Structure 1
Amino acid sequence: MSTTSPRIVIAGGGLAGLSLALALKQAMGDSLDVVMCDPALRRDPHGDKRAYAIAAAARRMLEALHVWDKVAPGAQPMLDMVITDSRLQDPVRPTFLTFSGDVGEGEPFAHMVTAGDLTAALIEACTAAGVSLKAQGVRGFTAAAGHVDVLLADGEAALPAALLVAADGARSKLREQAGIGWISWPYRQSGIVATIAHERDHEGRAVEHFLPSGPFAILPLKSETLPDGTVKHRSSIVWSERSENVPALLESDPEHLLVELERRFGLQLGKVAFETTPQAFPLSFGVARTFVGDRIALLGDAAHVIHPIAGQGLNLGLHDAASLAQVIADAMRLGQDPGGADVLEAYERARRADITAMGLMTDGLNRLFSNDLLPVRLIRDLGLGLVDRMPGLKRFFIREAAGLTNRDAPRLLKGEAL
C-alpha cells in the first residue's frame, strides 16, 4: 500500500455507509482512496419507498455534505408531535404530551424523507466526489501487518486497505468474522411499516399512540399534487404489534386489515388507504461488545440496533458516520495511520456512551408503555402530564430528539465541514 494515499473500504451501501464515504472523500480528496462495496448499488435507489425521520443535527450534516438541497423538495418538516396513551378499545384517546416549535429560527426538529431520494442524492454526490462504487459484496478479510486485505465476492484479487468499515447490517458477517460479540434480546414485537394515503392534511404533525401491544406512530410525509390538480396527503406508519398477531394481520383480507389500521390510525385525517403493501420485521435490541477490531470498524446497524419507538435508528448511524469521518480526517492531517489502533479507540470512545444511553432509553420506554398494568399506566400518564406542563423540560427533550444537546458532537452534526 502507498503511504501517501491509503485506502478505506466500506462494506455496505446504506445511508450511513454512503454518508461516511462522502464525508471522507470531501474532507481528504485525492489523499484518500475510498471504496464502497455493495451489490445493492446495481438497483435503482428510487425504488426504496421507506421513510425516515431525519433529526435536525443529521440534517445539518447533510447540508454540510451538500446533499440536503437535492432532498429538501421532497422532505416534510415535522412541526409538532402529539403523544397519547390508551387501550385500543377506548372511545377517547386523551393527549398527554405535545411538542411543537423549532429548535432554531425556521429550523424544525426533524424532517421526514424517503430513503430512495436520500440514497440517490448520496450516490450522485459520492460519484462526483470520486468515491469508487463497486456493485459487489465483501466476503471476508484478513488483517495483516499495517493493513487489511479485503476479499470481494467476485473473487478479484484482495484489496489492501488501511481500514475496513463493516456497514453490512444487524446480521453483519464481517462483525462475526472479526470475532466481535453481540449482545441482544428480542422484544416479541414486530414493526409493520407502510405508507398511508388520507383525505385531510396532516399539517406536519406526528402522532405517537402508545397502545398495550406497542407504539403506533403516524409520521407526516410530503403531499403530492396529481396531474388532475388534486392533492394526495400521505403519512408513514410504524405499527408495533405483538409478533404472534402479525401473520394473521398481514394474511387477512385487505378490508379487514384496513379496519384494523383505522382502529389505530383514528379518524382525524378522514378516510385512509394503504398506498404501499405493509411489510413487517421483527424488533429487537442489539449492540456490539466493541465497535472496533484489528483494522475494522463497525458502523450503523452492524454496531447497534434499537427499538424504533423514538425514530432514532438512522440518526444514530449518521452520528457514527460523522464521528468516524472526523477521527479519521483529523488523524490523517496529523500524518497518522487512519486504521491505527489509536484512531479506532477514539471512535469507540466517541460513540459508546451515546449508543448505550439511547439503547437504554428506547428499551425502557418500550417496556414502560407496552403494557396494560393499571398502576404503571397511572404513573406514566402522570409523568407525561407533568412534562407537558414544564416548558423548559419540553424544550430540552425536543432538542435531545433533534440531536442538539451534545456540545462534543462531531463537527458535521453542527453543520461544519470537516
Structure 2
Amino acid sequence: MAKTSSPAGAADRHDILILGGGLVGASLAIALGQAGLRVALIDRDTPADQVQDRFDGRGSAVSLASKRVLVGLGVWDAIAEKGPILDIRVSDGPSRLHLHYDHRTVGDEPMGWIIENRFLRRALHKIVAQTPNVDWLAPARTTGFERGPGWVGLTLEDGRSLRAPLLVGAEGRHSPTRDWAGISVRRVEYHQTGIVCAVEHEKPHQGIAHERFLPIGPLALLPLEHPNRSSVVWTEDPAKVPGFLALSDEDFAYEIERRFGPWLGKMRMVGPRWNYPLTALMANRFYGDRIVLAGDSAHGVHPIAGQGVNLGWRDVAALAELLVEAARTGTDLGSPALLARYEAWRKPIALACWRRPTC
C-alpha cells in the first residue's frame, strides 16, 4: 500500500521530489531514502495494478552492473524469478553460422538476466514500502509546477503542495518534468515496430539468448527462468504488424518459429502480445533550474542491446552518489554545479548508446 504524507492543502517539504515511480524512479527513492534523505515519490499509477500476478511476457534485460546496484539497494534478493543469460548467439538471416559468446570467457557470473517486469516492480514496491524517509504517493497526479527562491514545487490533484530543493523527472520518454523545464530533445524514428510476447518451446533454452538479424531488423529470444520459456522481441515493418497481430496464437507462433529456425523446436504462445513503435530520443540537457532528468526522461535508446533500463540504473547510482555526498557536506541539492557534474558523468555514456545502440 502506498505511503501518505501530510493532508490535502498543506505544504509538505522534502529533500527530493521524484516524479515517476517506475523502475528508475523507485530505485532512486530507495537509494536516497536509505541514505537518510526525505523523498516524495509521486506516481500516477495504482501500485496494485503494477504488481498483478498475470504473466504478460514483458521483461527487462538486467546487466551485471545493474545487478550490483539492485543488490546494494536490497532489491535483488526480493526478485522472485530471474532468468540468467549464460551465452549469447548472434546469427544473420538464413545463415546457419553464428557468433557464440560464452559467459565463462569473462568470469563466473552470467552475462545478465532476463527478469519479468512484474517481478521487478513487485520487488521494488516491497523495498520502497520498507524504506524510511520515503513518502510514496500513488496514485497521484500533478496539476502544476512552480519554482521559488531555493525550491521547486508540485501541486497534486488532491490539492496537496510539495516543495524541495530538487525535482527529479523519471516519468519516461513523455516526461512532463522535461517539458516544464523547457528541455528540448533530439529524436530518431526507426520506422520499425517492436512486437513483444513470450513463447514456450519444445527444447530448453539452456540460458542462451538468441539474436537473429533479419532484413527488417533483429528477432531476439531471451531466456526466462522457466527452462522452456523465452521472451520474444520481434522487429517488424509497421505496415505488416496489424496483420500479424490478427493471427491466431498458433499461426503467430509459427511465424516466430519460421523466422527463428529449428534451435528451440516447436513453439506455442503464452500470454498476450504487445507492440511499440521503435524510436530513440536524447535530451539536449540533463538538468535545468532545480530539475534533473533520469532514465528514459533523459535518454531513450533502441532496444537491440537491452541497454534502456540499465542506463537508467546507472543514472540512479551516479545521481544518488552525488546527492548523498552533497547532503552530508551541506551543499544545496539543486546547485547548478552539482547537476552539471551529473550531466558530465552520464551524458557522454548515454550519447554513445544513443548513436550506437549496441554500446
* Same fold? TM cut 0.5: yes
Structure with the largest fraction of strand: 2
Give 2:40's aligned residue: 35
Is 1:129 matched with 2:131? yes
Q: CA RMSD in A?
A: 1.7
| Structure 1 segments (4+ residues) deviating >6 Å | none
Structure with the largest fraction of helix: 1
Matching of residues 9-408 of structure 1 within 5 Å: 9-27=17-35, 29=36, 32-47=37-52, 49=56, 50-71=58-79, 73-86=80-93, 90=94, 93-102=95-104, 105-130=107-132, 131-135=134-138, 136-156=140-160, 158-223=161-226, 233-362=228-357
Give the 3 Å change call, closer, same or farther, for CA 102–41 of structure 1 in structure 2.
farther
Write the distance in 2 (CA, Å) between the matches of 1:255 and 1:314: 32
Residue identity matched to 2:119? D
Check the 8 A contact 1:150/1:161 in 2, yes or no. Answer: no
Q: CA deviation at 1:104?
A: 6.2
Give the 3 Å change call, closer, same or farther, for CA 105–210 of structure 1 in structure 2.
closer
Check the 8 A contact 1:9/1:35 in 2, yes or no. Answer: yes
Aligned length, in residue pairs:
342
Identity of aligned residues (%): 39
String of CA shifts for 1:205-257, please: whole Å, max 9, x gaps: 0000000110000100011xxxxxxxx72100110111111111112344432
Check the 8 A contact 1:82/1:95 in 2, yes or no. Answer: no
Give the 3 Å change call, closer, same or farther, for CA 102–62 of structure 1 in structure 2.
farther
Give the 3 Å change call, closer, same or farther, for CA 214–105 of structure 1 in structure 2.
closer
Give the 3 Å change call, closer, same or farther, for CA 109–258 of structure 1 in structure 2.
closer
**Gaps spanning 5+ residues in structure 1: where?**
224-231, 366-400, 402-418
Q: CA deviation at 1:102?
A: 4.1
Check the 8 A contact 2:318/2:345 in 1, yes or no. Answer: yes
Q: TM-score, normalised by structure 1?
A: 0.78
Write the distance in 2 (CA, Å) between the matches of 1:236 and 1:164: 35
Give 2:4's aligned residue: none
Give the 3 Å change call, closer, same or farther, for CA 260–290 of structure 1 in structure 2.
same
Check the 8 A contact 1:102/1:109 in 2, yes or no. Answer: no
Write the distance in 1 (CA, Å) between the matches of 2:141 and 2:334: 21
Q: Secondary structure at the match of 2:213?
A: strand
Give the 3 Å change call, closer, same or farther, for CA 104–260 of structure 1 in structure 2.
closer
Check the 8 A contact 1:103/1:109 in 2, yes or no. Answer: no
Check the 8 A contact 2:62/2:113 in 1, yes or no. Answer: yes
Write the distance in 1 (CA, Å) between the matches of 2:144 and 2:219: 39
Write the distance in 2 (CA, Å) between the matches of 1:191 and 1:256: 18
Write the distance in 2 (CA, Å) between the matches of 1:285 and 1:348: 19
Give 1:226's aligned residue: none
Check the 8 A contact 1:8/1:34 in 2, yes or no. Answer: yes
Write the distance in 1 (CA, Å) between the matches of 2:143 and 2:87: 44
Write the distance in 1 (CA, Å) between the matches of 2:142 and 2:303: 28
Farther off after superposition, 268-277 or 311-320: 268-277
Residue identity matched to 2:81? G
Check the 8 A contact 2:17/2:167 in 1, yes or no. Answer: yes
Q: CA deviation at 1:140?
A: 3.0
**Gaps spanning 5+ residues in structure 2: where?**
1-12
Write the distance in 1 (CA, Å) between the matches of 2:106 and 2:155: 46
Write the distance in 2 (CA, Å) between the matches of 1:357 and 1:6: 34
